[in-house]
Each structure stands twice: as structure tokens, then as C-alpha cells.
Chains A and B, each alone.
Chain A
Amino acid sequence: MITQPTHRRNWNWLQGRETLLAVIFVGVIFVNIQLSPYFLGVDNLVNVFQLSIEKATIALIMTLIIISGEIDLSVAAVMGLCATIFGWLYQGGVALPLAALLTLGIGTLCGVFNGMWIAYLGLPSLAVTLAGLVGYRGLASVILEEKSVSEFPDWFSALGQKNIAGLPFPPTLVLFVLLFAVFVGVLHFSAFGRTVTVIGNNKEAARFAGVGVRRTKLTLFIVSGFMSALAGLMYAARVGTVRANVAEGFELDIITMVVLGGVSIFGGSGTLIGVGLAVLVVLSLRNGMQLSNINGSVQTSVIGLLLVLSLLLPTLFHDVREARRRVKPVPPLAPPIADELPKEESQRSIKTTL
């Protein structure tokens, strides 16, 4: 249930961030069309999405985690670990469906492990998941060392590569769209989603109000582990080869998608629509650069630049506007209280936007 005032506030907010993203998105597409004749082909458009479906999938849960005021830096490492374990199990002769189930279970366990330290011992998620980033990647390397596993059965690869009958995209893309719908439902239309937002706004207040802060956080990290494992499976299906360094550095792209999408890094606000738009922006930008043969590391740096600018520019505009307002002379006959009030109000608004 959404009450009227929150709805109206969301709408105001939509006008800012989401419009900006849509404009950037259109701009990127326009430039891409100019640069490459292949960009508008249906194959390429599907490719844009398909090539980074794993990142977009993890971005869904990362959105919730960041809104709850935490962060999970270990997602890419868990994804790599799960893909590795999946390949290792398959190589060891475990039936593929069972291997997939076990992989999902292990990802979930990683989530439980992260979540316990954060939710029940109160450790900073930044430090815990940083340890996870190093540790899980290390475990992945222990399991497969320098080797790689490939040659999964055809039906499995088909899940990530072949198109569903009659449609121009593979099943994993359909799975992503379904997951997106589920996450929108959870975040914006369910009690759990409100709980996540409340915790991100004020953890103490949420606790005093009887919200199960610990349980909610644990749940979020468990789901994060599960989604990362799922992303690992998607990767194995799409690429057909797994190594220990699968998804190395994906956390940058994932966090960029979420923060670019207008989710406050301090928690408490953000929408999945914004994140969805940001995913489109990041993916089409990367695709365009790929079509123009730009080196992968340079691509990443452009994404990094976009991330920094998307946070920097709004505050700069805000500062400039504030400075202009201050320069404007106060009407001579205004009572003192009248020119005090707006100033205070403007400062309060700065604080809330921060």
C-alpha cells in the first residue's frame, strides 16, 4: 500500500533522476548510432543486454542492500566462486541439475556467512564483504587454480545462448525480466520493501519501532548470495567456460549501475526504475565503446567517470544555485524573521539531500 504523500514525493523525485538518466540514455544511443551502423540491429540490441545479464541480475539485490544502508563488495567474488564450484562439480561427474542446485546452495551459504557477521555481530558490511571479496576469490582460485572447465552439455548452454522458439532472446533474459518484476514488487509494493527503506533511513528508529533490523539484513545478504550464485550459473551457461577469475571487478559496474540509478549510497532512498535505466545506460555505453574498438580498461574508466560525474554534478549545480540565491539582495522592508526562515529551510534541505 502506498499512501498519497509518499507517492507524490516519489513522483517529484522521478522528475529529477530518472529524466536525467533517460536523457543520457537517449544521448548514448544517438552517439552509438552515429558511430556504428551495427548498433541498431536486433542482434546487437539483444547482445547489449545478454552480455551483461549477470551484472544486471546482481544489481537488483544490490539496490535493496544499498537502500538498507549496507553494501556488498563480495558479490563478484561469490559469483566467481559459485561458477567455479559449478564447473568443478560438473567435471567431477555430478549431474548438472544437482550441481546447479548445490551451487545455489553454496552461494546462499556465502550470503549467510556474510550476513551473520553484519546482522548479528554488528560488523561494518564494508569490511566484512571486503574480506569476502578477497577470501571467496581466493577459495575459487584454490579450487580451479589456473585451469578452466568448459564443454557443458548443449541444453545447458542453450539456456544462455540460444533463443527461445520464436523470440530473439534466450531464456536467461526472460528470467531477468521476471526477477526485475519480482524485485520491483518487493521493494516498492511490499512490507519488506518498506522495512528495507526504513532501516536505511534510520536504523535506530527502525529498531525502536519494532522492525526486525537484524533479520531483514540477514535476509538481504542471503538473497545476495543466492542471486550471485544464480549469476554465476548464468555466466556458465552464456560463456560456456568457467575459470577462477570469472567476474573479477564486476562489483564496480554493479555498484555504478545502482548508484547511477539514483540510489543513495547512505541508504534510505532509491527506485528500481532508476536502476533499470542506469543498467541500460551502462550497457549501451559499453556496447557502443566495444563497437568502436575501445579497450576494456578504458571502457571501465569511462563508466567510472560517469559514476563520479553523476554524483558530482548535481551537488555542484545545487551549490551554484545556493550561491546565486545568497547573492540576491534581501528586500529592504522584510522583517528579520522572514529572511532567516528560508535560509534555515534551505540548509535543512541540503541535509536531507545529503
Chain B
Amino acid sequence: MNRFRVRAESVRELGLLLIIVAITLYFGSQITNFFSATTFQRIADSVMIIAVVAVGQTLVVLTRNIDLSVGSVVGLTAFVVGKQFAGNLNLSPVLAIGLALGIGGVLGLVNGLIVAYGRVPAIVATLGTLAIYRGLLFQYANNSNISTRFLPDWVVNLPSQTLITIGTLNITVLAGLALAVVIVFQLGLTFVPSARRLYAIGSDPETARTSGIPARRLILIAFIVCGLLSGLAGFMYLAKFGTITSVAAQGLELQVVAAVVLGGINVFGGSGRVIGSLLGAILVGTLEYGFIRMRISEFWKQAAEGLAILLAVAGDVIILARFRAYLARAQSRAHLSASTTAVIVPKQESS
């Protein structure tokens, strides 16, 4: 009876992977020299930041909440850390990354407290903090910019540091870090009990509460982790771009939510996997790069992204729901036939 269990999520992620492959092949046929190490490099560069934030967003969305303030958190963190470097070039790496995580964590804590303990709906609360954090950044920046000359060499060189080389493809330290974040959180969400409870909270908040799950505390933790990862992404943003203005990472939240939704994380919580978010981020990054290279007005990219989100959600509701129902029926049928044979067999023996 050792049957391979088909999960709707896996099928969906496989579908997403096929779409990514199809789009890549299409771009490959339209753009000369698309399949090159530079292309890989560029896409990986833009995907890594989206992916790290998307992992945090996944945790929050799983609990049937949303964090729209991530773009502002990334921008604020990048700017503040950059400013610290401008004041002291010898700031140690540990301290700098710690500062980035700290700022992100505190901002996430504020979001989490407002949502989990203040009982303000997440979409409204984080729409508010999106504006508040951006305003703080404006006030703090006071029309100044951060540019690479304020940054120490190790930060400027960080994006080109290679971790490992596979063939002609270089995986940079930052991309490796993003990959590590995805893997760690995927494993965590699969095996750590309290992380599993995020699914329970998202599926049915009322039942989760009555069955003794500390929903508030876990939602708070999800927001804090989302903030921490946004802080980390802020540091990556600083290293990648070097030039930070007060509008840094504005609108990043849309790309992140797009990645999460494309990745199959249900916006009503309770289902989805971190791997899906990574695939969603890769799709968003590939589309972005492909459109730029095809010299199609890059604005079409936004229109295409919007359509992709819509189709992903529609696909989830129309196809995936039916597929889930089909799986459930098939399972119960298998169950039924197994139990009937079990009943029939002893009867035959007795007669």
C-alpha cells in the first residue's frame, strides 16, 4: 500500500516550473545570446532580494495576514545602514548586518504588535506602516543620498563575490545566502511544530485558537521574522545598488506579493510553500529581465505582471480547487474499497 501521495501544491509548483521554462525558452528564441552567464547573473541578482522578502511574506500570508510595508522596511534599512557606513567606514560586517536585522526586526515587531495584539486588520495596519516607515526614511534622509563612495570596499565588492561556480554560472555569495534562507525556511515550515501551526492559524483562526494554539504570539513572530528578512534584504539592496535615495525599494512590496501569489500561497492563508514563493520570485525576475532585453517598453512588464497574478489566482480557484476535490474523492474511494475488501475477506473464510 505504499502509494506515492500526490499533493496539489507539488503539481502547482511543477506547473509554475514549466511556465518558467516555457518563458525562458521563448525569451531565448527572441533574444540573441539570452542563454549566457550574464543573463543568469542578472536574473539571480534581481531574484535574490525579492526571494528573501518573499520568504518572510510567505510566513505572514500563511497566517491569513499580509505585510505591505516590506518595501519601506527594505528602503529604510538600506538607507540607515548606508548612513552608518558613511559615518564610519570601519564599521564591522557583523555590526552592520546586525544593525540591518535589528532595524528590520523592530519594524516587524511594530507591525506584529499592531496586528496581533492591537487587532487591526493586517492590510490596513501595514498600509499605514508602509506610509509611516517611508515618511521616517524621508525625515531621516533629509534630501541626502547614499552612494558607493560612502561605502567600504567589502560592501561594494560583495555582489561580485562568487560562492561556487557551476560550469560558466557563478553563484554569488548573496544569491547563495538567499538560497540558504529559502532552504532553511522550507525545512522549518515542514518540520518545526510551531511553524506548522502557522498553517493551522491560516486555515481556520477560530479553531486554531480554541485548540490552544497561541495564535497571537505566532502571528507576532511571523511579522518579526518577515521584518528581519526584509532587514537582511535591505542590506543586500545596499550592497547591490550602492546608491540609495529616499525612494529606495518603493513598490517592492508589489513584486513580493506578486511572487508569493504566483508561488501558490493562498491569500486567505493556510496553504503554500516557501519553494513556491522562490519559483514565483524567479518568474517575476525572469519576466522583468526578459522584457528589458526585448526592448519592449518596460511598462508592458507591469501589465504582464498584473495579468500573471490574475491568472495565477484564477488558476488556483478554478483548476486547483477542482484538482484538490478530485484528489480527496480518489483518496476516499481508495479508502472505501480497501475497507470493503477487508470486510468481505473474513466472510469468505468463514463460509
By a beta-carbon cutoff of 8 Å, the part of chain A in contact with chain B is 71, 117, 121-124, 126-128, 130-139, 141-142, 145, 244, 252, 255-256, 259, 265-266, 295, 297-305, 307-308, 311-312, 315-316, 354
By a beta-carbon cutoff of 8 Å, the part of chain B in contact with chain A is 66, 114, 118-121, 123-125, 127-139, 246, 254, 257-258, 261, 267-268, 297, 299-310, 313-314, 317-318
CA distance A142 to B125 in the complex (A): 32
Q: Are A297 and B310 in contact (CB under 8 A)?
A: no
With A124-B313, A138-B299, A307-B128 given, name 12 new contacts (CB 8 A). A127-B310, A128-B310, A131-B309, A138-B304, A145-B297, A298-B135, A301-B136, A302-B135, A308-B124, A311-B118, A311-B121, A315-B119
Q: Are B139 and A133 in contact (CB under 8 A)?
A: no
Nearest to B138 among chain A residues (CB) is A297
A297-B138, A304-B132 known; A265 and B121 CB under 8 Å? yes
What is the CB-to-nearest-CB distance from B223 to chain A, in angstroms, rounded to a whole number?
14
Q: A136, A244, A256, A300 — which one has the most chain B CB atoms within 10 A of its CB?
A: A300
Q: Are B131 and A303 in contact (CB under 8 A)?
A: yes
CA distance A316 to B118 in the complex (A): 7
Q: A130, A145, A252 — which one has the most chain B CB atoms within 10 A of its CB?
A: A130
Q: Are A304 and B299 in contact (CB under 8 A)?
A: no
Nearest first, the 8 closest Cβ-Cβ pairs linking A and B are A301-B135, A135-B306, A138-B302, A304-B131, A138-B303, A141-B299, A131-B309, A304-B128
Q: Are A142 and B299 in contact (CB under 8 A)?
A: yes
What is the CB-to-nearest-CB distance from B299 to chain A, in angstroms, rounded to a whole number?
3
A131-B313, A252-B130, A298-B135 known; A312 and B306 CB under 8 Å? no
Q: Are A315 and B310 in contact (CB under 8 A)?
A: no
Residues on B with C-beta less than 8 A from A255 are 124, 127
Nearest to B142 among chain A residues (CB) is A295
Residues on B with C-beta less than 8 A from A142 are 297, 299-300, 303
CA distance A297 to B252 in the complex (A): 17
- A295 partner, pick from B138, B309, B317, beta carbons under 8 A: B138
Q: Are B267 and A252 in contact (CB under 8 A)?
A: no
Q: A141, A145, A256, A302 — which one has the most chain B CB atoms within 10 A of its CB?
A: A141
Q: Are A135 and B131 in contact (CB under 8 A)?
A: no
CA distance A302 to B261 in the complex (A): 30
Residues on A with C-beta less than 8 A from B132 are 301, 304-305, 308
Residues on A with C-beta less than 8 A from B303 are 134-135, 138-139, 142
CA distance A121 to B315 in the complex (A): 10
A252-B127, A301-B136, A304-B131 known; A312 and B310 CB under 8 Å? no
Residues on B with C-beta less than 8 A from A311 are 118, 120-121, 124-125
Residues on A with C-beta less than 8 A from B138 are 295, 297-298, 301
Q: Are B261 and A297 in contact (CB under 8 A)?
A: no
Q: Are A138 and B300 in contact (CB under 8 A)?
A: yes
CA distance A345 to B125 in the complex (A): 28
Nearest to A298 among chain B residues (CB) is B135
Residues on B with C-beta less than 8 A from A127 are 261, 267, 309-310, 313
CA distance A139 to B267 in the complex (A): 25
Residues on A with C-beta less than 8 A from B307 are 131, 135
Residues on A with C-beta less than 8 A from B267 are 124, 126-127
A128-B310, A139-B303, A308-B132 known; A259 and B118 CB under 8 Å? no
Interface residues of A, dominant DSSP: helix
Can you name 8 A-B residue pairings with CB atoms under 8 Å? A127-B267, A134-B305, A138-B302, A265-B124, A297-B135, A300-B134, A301-B131, A304-B132
Q: Are A132 and B306 in contact (CB under 8 A)?
A: yes
Q: Are A134 and B118 in contact (CB under 8 A)?
A: no
Q: Are B124 and A259 in contact (CB under 8 A)?
A: yes
A127-B309, A304-B130, A311-B124 known; A121 and B314 CB under 8 Å? yes
What is the CB-to-nearest-CB distance from A111 to chain B, in angstroms, rounded to a whole number?
15
Residues on B with C-beta less than 8 A from A301 are 131-136, 138
Nearest to B266 among chain A residues (CB) is A124
What is the CB-to-nearest-CB distance from A350 to chain B, in angstroms, rounded to a whole number?
9
- B306 partner, pick from A121, A138, A307, beta carbons under 8 A: A138
Nearest to B113 among chain A residues (CB) is A312
A297-B138, A301-B134 known; A117 and B305 CB under 8 Å? no
Residues on A with C-beta less than 8 A from B261 are 127, 130
Q: Are A131 and B135 in contact (CB under 8 A)?
A: no
Nearest to B143 among chain A residues (CB) is A295
What is the CB-to-nearest-CB distance from A302 to chain B, in angstroms, rounded to a whole number?
7
Q: Are A252 and B119 in contact (CB under 8 A)?
A: no
- B268 partner, pick from A124, A266, A300, beta carbons under 8 A: A124
CA distance A13 to B120 in the complex (A): 19
A117-B310, A121-B318, A301-B134 known; A315 and B304 CB under 8 Å? no
CA distance A308 to B306 in the complex (A): 28
Residues on B with C-beta less than 8 A from A131 are 306-310, 313
CA distance A323 to B299 in the complex (A): 54
Q: A121, A134, A136, A295 — which one has the most chain B CB atoms within 10 A of its CB?
A: A134
Q: Are B120 and A315 in contact (CB under 8 A)?
A: yes
What is the CB-to-nearest-CB distance from B295 to chain A, in angstroms, rounded to a whole number?
13
CA distance A312 to B268 in the complex (A): 23
Residues on B with C-beta less than 8 A from A298 are 135, 138-139
Residues on B with C-beta less than 8 A from A133 are 254, 306
Q: B125, B299, B300 — which one has the most chain A CB atoms within 10 A of its CB?
A: B299
What is the CB-to-nearest-CB distance from A28 to chain B, in angstroms, rounded to a whole number?
18
CA distance A111 to B132 in the complex (A): 30
What is the CB-to-nearest-CB distance from A74 to chain B, in angstroms, rounded to a whole number?
9
What is the CB-to-nearest-CB distance from B86 to chain A, in angstroms, rounded to a whole number?
21
Residues on A with C-beta less than 8 A from B114 are 308, 312
What is the CB-to-nearest-CB distance from B97 to chain A, in angstroms, rounded to a whole number?
27
- B309 partner, pick from A134, A137, A266, beta carbons under 8 A: A134
Residues on A with C-beta less than 8 A from B137 are 297
What is the CB-to-nearest-CB distance from A123 to chain B, in angstroms, rounded to a whole number?
5
CA distance A205 to B287 in the complex (A): 43
Q: B124, B137, B139, B317 — which one has the most chain A CB atoms within 10 A of its CB?
A: B124
Nearest to B141 among chain A residues (CB) is A297
